């Protein structure tokens, strides 16, 4: 059972303490009602509590994940912790410098140059002009803006703006780093730089609060996780336990959505099978990047299934499922390759990655790498299945490319049995 309130014990120095935090928004039917309340001192509003009775502690070097559905209160919590919102109830105690990566570039003045915005934006996050003078060149170098630093920000692309913003807010290592949904920004090259900087902060003892819808990244980065539901703490504890409970919740929601869609189809006079979602369109067992697709520096080149026939979808001819993924990586960097196996309608069965299994893909030369994955005696009952491929950096934190449901195949098991998989078992 997951303790909703008590964090795991930690003897490291305290960085953040939050006690019974709450945030109330007062909603008025009209501006007149708001004015009437100001003049009379009486209540004419209804209350919406974005957060209620949230308590947590963070210690030096700890990484806390924050998860929850849309509207659960995650953004409100992060803004309160960053100091951009004030709480309605409770208290927040911070120790040391706090840096928040929330809406990158939102505080920049469009008519100022990038260099002027460094000083302007730096003053907003506690960096003095004298300190900025020593940091200025390092920030420019990290953002890779070059001569564009002296152009007005309104002439920048969105990518240039967020690069400058990220370089600015991470120029000084904080005691507490708050990240909202953006593990990295920009192109593949800059993404890797961002992740490496965040990792260096964590390795140096920086405390990190990471909010994301990516459960994969939460699992990889965070030792403790907080699950918010309806503005309240649903679970708080070890990441593996909290994520397991949250995934049960997500699957229940998905079943509800499926049931609702089925009802809607019946109401509209349609039946399952009359319409096929785009993600479930039939694809070959061998997939390659088309000539018209965007070419990335790091990319998946091909995904191939061994021993399948030419039917549509192809039939697996052997008891083993063998998947071969070929990728291209720049500058000799070793990749991590992931493979997911799902039912045709999107129910996940399993996923594996080379970095989690301690495997390095085979180098083929010319920046090409290959990984072959074998599922021996595929333990699936008869049905239609799809394979997806993922390309990560060597540590599995930066996602370079995804091929979702790219290879489709049929599998036939001699016995007709209900269920999805054949689990190892014995009768006693």
Whether 267 shows a pLDDT value over 60: the answer reads no
Residue 78's region, left for phi above 0, alpha for psi from -120 to 50, else beta, is: alpha
Q: How confident is the model at residue 151 (pLDDT cuts 50, 70, 90)?
A: very high
Whether 266 shows a pLDDT value over 60: the answer reads no
283-411 fold: Coagulation Factor XIII; Chain A, domain 1 (2.70.50)
- In angstroms, the CA 391 to CA 398 distance is 9
- In angstroms, the CA 219 to CA 251 distance is 18
- The confidence score (pLDDT) of residue 369 equals 96
250 compared with 370, residue with greater pLDDT: 370
Q: How confident is the model at residue 254 (pLDDT cuts 50, 70, 90)?
A: confident
69 compared with 106, residue with greater pLDDT: 69
CA dihedral 69, 73, 76, 81 (to 10 degrees): -100
Whether 91 shows a pLDDT value over 90: the answer reads yes
Q: What is the pLDDT of residues 231-243, one digit of tens each?
A: 999 999 999 999 9
- The confidence score (pLDDT) of residue 250 equals 85
- The confidence score (pLDDT) of residue 261 equals 54
Mean pLDDT of the chain: 83
Whether 185 shows a pLDDT value over 80: the answer reads no
Q: What is the pLDDT of residues 195-218, one digit of tens each?
A: 888 888 888 889 999 888 888 888
Which CATH architecture does the domain made up of 14-244 adopt? 3-Layer(aba) Sandwich (3.40)
Of the candidates 384, 381, 403, 382, the residue with the CA atom closest to the CA atom of residue 392: 403
Each domain of the chain, given as residue ranges in start order, spans: 14-244, 283-411
Q: What is the pLDDT of residues 326-341, one digit of tens each?
A: 999 987 789 999 999 9
Q: Chain centroid to CA 158: how far? A: 20
Whether 291 shows a pLDDT value over 50: the answer reads no
- The confidence score (pLDDT) of residue 184 equals 56
- The answer to whether the Cα torsion of 76, 82, 88, 92 is positive or negative is positive
Q: How confident is the model at residue 45 (pLDDT cuts 50, 70, 90)?
A: low
* Percent of the chain surpassing pLDDT 90: 40
Q: What is the pLDDT of residues 158-179, one digit of tens each?
A: 888 888 988 998 888 888 988 8
Structure tokens at 254: 């998905």
- In angstroms, the CA 242 to CA 324 distance is 33
- The confidence score (pLDDT) of residue 190 equals 83
Q: What is the pLDDT of residues 24-38, one digit of tens each?
A: 887 777 777 777 777
Of the candidates 44, 48, 18, the residue with the CA atom closest to the CA atom of residue 31: 44
* Percent of the chain surpassing pLDDT 70: 85
Sheet containing strand 286-288, strands side by side: 286-288, 299-305, 321-328, 368-375, 362-365
Residues near 307 by beta carbon (within 8 Å), at least 6 away in sequence: 316, 317, 318, 320, 322
12 compared with 98, residue with greater pLDDT: 98
Residue 284's region, left for phi above 0, alpha for psi from -120 to 50, else beta, is: beta
- Residue 176: strand pairing partners: 98, 207
Confidence (pTM) = 0.72
- In angstroms, the CA 411 to CA 100 distance is 49
């Amino acid at each position: 059972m997951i303790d909703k309130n008590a964090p795991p014990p930690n003897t490291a120095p305290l960085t953040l303490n939050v006690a019974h935090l709450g945030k109330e928004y007062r909603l008025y039917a009209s501006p007149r009602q708001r004015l009437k309340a100001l003049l009379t001192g009486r209540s004419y509003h209804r209350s919406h509590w974005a957060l209620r009775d949230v308590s947590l502690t963070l210690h030096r070097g700890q990484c806390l994940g924050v998860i929850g559905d849309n509207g659960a209160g995650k953004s409100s919590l992060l803004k309160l912790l960053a100091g951009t919102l004030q709480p309605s109830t409770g208290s927040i105690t911070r120790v040391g410098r706090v840096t928040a990566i929330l809406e990158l570039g939102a505080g920049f003045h469009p008519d100022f140059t990038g260099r002027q915005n460094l000083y302007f934006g730096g003053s907003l996050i506690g960096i003095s002009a004298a300190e900025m003078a020593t940091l200025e060149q390092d920030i420019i170098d990290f953002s890779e803006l070059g001569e564009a630093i002296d152009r007005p920000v309104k002439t920048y692309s969105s990518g240039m703006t967020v690069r400058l913003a990220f370089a600015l807010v991470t120029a000084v290592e904080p005691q507490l780093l708050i990240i909202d949904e953006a593990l990295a920004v920009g192109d593949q090259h800059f993404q890797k730089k961002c992740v490496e900087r965040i990792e260096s902060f964590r390795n140096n003892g920086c405390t990190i609060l990471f909010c994301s819808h990516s459960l994969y990244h939460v699992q990889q980065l965070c030792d403790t996780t907080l699950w918010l539901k309806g503005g309240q703490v649903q679970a708080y504890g070890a990441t593996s336990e909290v994520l397991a409970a949250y995934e049960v919740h997500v699957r229940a929601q998905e079943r509800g959505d499926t049931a609702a869609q089925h009802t809607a189809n019946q109401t509209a006079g349609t039946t399952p099978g009359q319409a096929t979602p785009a993600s479930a369109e039939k694809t070959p067992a061998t997939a390659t990047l088309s000539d018209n697709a965007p070419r990335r520096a790091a990319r998946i080149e091909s995904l191939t299934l061994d021993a399948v026939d030419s039917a549509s979808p192809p039939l697996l001819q052997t008891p083993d499922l063998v998947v071969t993924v070929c990728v291209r990586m720049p500058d000799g960097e070793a990749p991590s390759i992931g493979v997911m196996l799902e039912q045709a309608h999107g129910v996940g069965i399993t996923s594996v990655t080379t970095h989690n299994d301690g495997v390095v893909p085979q180098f083929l030369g010319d920046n090409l790498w290959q990984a072959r994955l074998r599922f021996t005696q595929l333990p699936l009952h008869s049905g239609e299945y799809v394979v997806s491929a993922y390309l990560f950096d060597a540590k599995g934190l930066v996602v370079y490319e995804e091929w979702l449901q790219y290879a489709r195949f049929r599998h036939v098991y001699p016995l007709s049995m209900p269920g999805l998989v054949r689990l190892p078992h014995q009768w006693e």
